[in-house]
């Protein structure tokens, strides 16, 4: 259906660059990866992680054993928080430098992965800071080799060139994208994800769905991005309820991890636009806000806005969660309401007011979309021009349930 809208004379980039080991038991590949690092002359690595999941899942034991077997020392930085900050990235990089680290192993979800990627850039670019990296003061062309052990199924950061961090003093949460940020190897082992709490399971899966919706509808999209987006949404629709019912269902975790991987590659090709650009100010202002929840509260309004310009694509990829769409502009509200109803069905009914946002916050949020580095690029990819008035409307509509 959407094929008719493709301009075959417009050249697109198709990107797949990271080797990802996907499957139960993939963590055992850590020995091979450590061997490869040793062959490259790596004698010390910086391990970037946070919380305690790196230990609870057993991932840390595998890393220690593999590195010891191949004569690699580890400097452990385990202070990364959700929505990582440039200050913590600087701390991690300093620890790595002090210990002669020449590679980075990231263990965790999107926050430790993005922080680790960023620290890898700083290790390869002495004298630079994370704030300089995230304000665009320099554009790196090199980073220390990056290895990812992914503990969630949402961000797709284990297979793409993106990272995100918050500059706390400015309430900025920019994204960066550089070729050197592609991980060398990544591990997606469903057994490491079985202990994800129910809320986090929902939020990270919703993140993957948002990646898909945006990547498939941006000005930069291509047929590959659309194909992957549709499959991601199909898999999440099928397997998220199973993972909620039985958190230890490794088949469900496998396909959710695969879905998130597809979405990560999809937006590596198609980029992102409205939903992520408008969520970043939310979690920059309120760092305790889960990224996936922020996205969930905004996406129905975004779908309603962009549907007329992207109806054939959205009708096709949303079919698993909003069946029966015909791909005509007039059904924009029905599509948005359908997305909202699906979110409610997976126990994420919240709106912005439930998280403490009100009318008085809208002007500041709109301002942050205009001033935060990198968000202008995301907004320029939107299929409908991202004027401040439209951004304001999305925030306002997202305060309450759609009529």
Which of these, 323, 315, 126, lies nearest to 226 by C-alpha position? 315
**Predicted pLDDT at 2:** 64
CB 128 within 8 A of CB 180: no
Rounded CA gap, 356 and 307, in Å?
28
Count of CB atoms situated within 10 Å of the CB of 311: 23
**Predicted pLDDT at 10:** 77
Rounded CA gap, 295 and 330, in Å?
24
Rounded CA gap, 380 and 358, in Å?
26
Rounded CA gap, 326 and 318, in Å?
11
User: Which fold is adopted by the domain 26-188?
Assistant: Rossmann fold (3.40.50)
**Predicted pLDDT at 11:** 67
**Predicted pLDDT at 5:** 79
**Predicted pLDDT at 16:** 81
Q: Count the alpha carbons within 13 Å of 177 in the hemisphere toward its beta carbon.
A: 14
CB 397 within 8 A of CB 284: no
CATH 1.20.1090.10 for domain 196-397 = yes
Rounded CA gap, 27 and 65, in Å?
12
**Predicted pLDDT at 7:** 82
Per-residue pLDDT tens digits of the chain, which is 403 residues long: 566 777 868 766 556 899 999 999 999 999 999 999 999 999 999 999 998 999 999 999 999 999 999 999 999 999 999 999 999 999 999 999 999 999 999 999 999 999 999 999 999 999 999 999 999 999 999 999 999 999 999 999 999 999 999 999 999 999 999 999 999 999 999 999 999 999 999 999 999 999 999 999 999 999 999 999 999 999 999 999 999 999 999 999 999 999 999 999 999 999 999 999 999 999 999 999 999 999 999 999 999 999 999 999 999 999 999 999 999 999 999 999 999 999 999 999 999 999 999 999 999 999 999 999 999 999 999 999 999 999 999 999 999 999 7
How far, in Å, are 88, 95, 364 from residue 99 at the CA level? Answer: 17, 6, 42
Rounded CA gap, 45 and 104, in Å?
5
Which of these, 74, 112, 81, 111, lies nearest to 95 by C-alpha position? 74
In the chain, where the domains are located? 26-188, 196-397
């Amino acid at each position: 259906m959407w094929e008719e809208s493709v301009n075959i004379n417009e050249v697109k980039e198709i990107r797949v660059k990271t080797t990802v080991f996907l499957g139960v038991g993939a963590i055992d590949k850590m020995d091979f990866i450590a061997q490869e690092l040793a062959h490259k002359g790596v004698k010390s690595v910086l391990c970037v992680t946070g919380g305690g999941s790196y230990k609870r899942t057993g991932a840390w034991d595998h890393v220690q054993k593999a590195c010891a077997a191949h004569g690699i020392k580890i400097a452990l930085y385990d202070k990364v928080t959700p929505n990582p900050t440039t200050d913590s990235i600087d701390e991690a990089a300093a620890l790595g430098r002090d210990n002669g680290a020449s590679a980075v192993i990231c263990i965790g979800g999107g926050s430790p992965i993005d922080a680790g990627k960023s620290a890898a850039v700083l290790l390869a670019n002495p004298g630079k800071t994370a704030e300089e990296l995230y304000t665009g003061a320099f554009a790196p062309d090199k980073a220390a080799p990056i290895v990812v052990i992914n503990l969630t199924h949402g961000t797709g950061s284990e297979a793409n060139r993106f990272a995100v961090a918050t500059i706390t003093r400015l309430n900025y949460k920019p994204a960066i994208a550089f070729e050197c940020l592609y991980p060398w190897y990544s591990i997606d082992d469903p057994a490491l994800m079985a202990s994800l709490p129910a809320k986090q399971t929902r939020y990270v899966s919703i993140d993957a769905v948002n990646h898909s919706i945006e990547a498939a509808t941006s000005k930069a999209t291509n047929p590959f991005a659309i194909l992957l987006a549709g499959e991601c949404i199909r898999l999440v629709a099928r397997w998220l309820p199973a993972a909620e019912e039985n958190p230890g269902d490794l088949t469900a975790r496998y396909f959710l991890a695969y879905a998130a991987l597809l979405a990560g590659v999809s937006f590596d090709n198609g980029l992102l636009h409205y939903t992520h650009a408008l969520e970043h100010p939310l979690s920059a202002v309120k760092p305790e806000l889960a990224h996936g929840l922020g996205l969930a509260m905004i996406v129905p309004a975004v779908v309603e806005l962009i549907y007329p310009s992207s109806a054939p694509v959205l009708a096709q990829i949303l079919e698993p969660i909003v069946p029966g769409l015909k791909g005509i502009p007039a059904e924009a509200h029905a599509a948005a309401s359908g997305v909202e109803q699906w979110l409610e069905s997976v126990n994420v009914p919240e709106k912005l007011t439930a998280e403490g946002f009100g009318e008085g916050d809208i002007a500041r949020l709109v301002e942050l979309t205009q001033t935060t580095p990198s968000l202008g690029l995301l907004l320029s990819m939107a299929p409908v021009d991202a004027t401040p008035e439209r951004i304001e409307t999305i925030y306002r509509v997202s305060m309450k349930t759609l009529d």
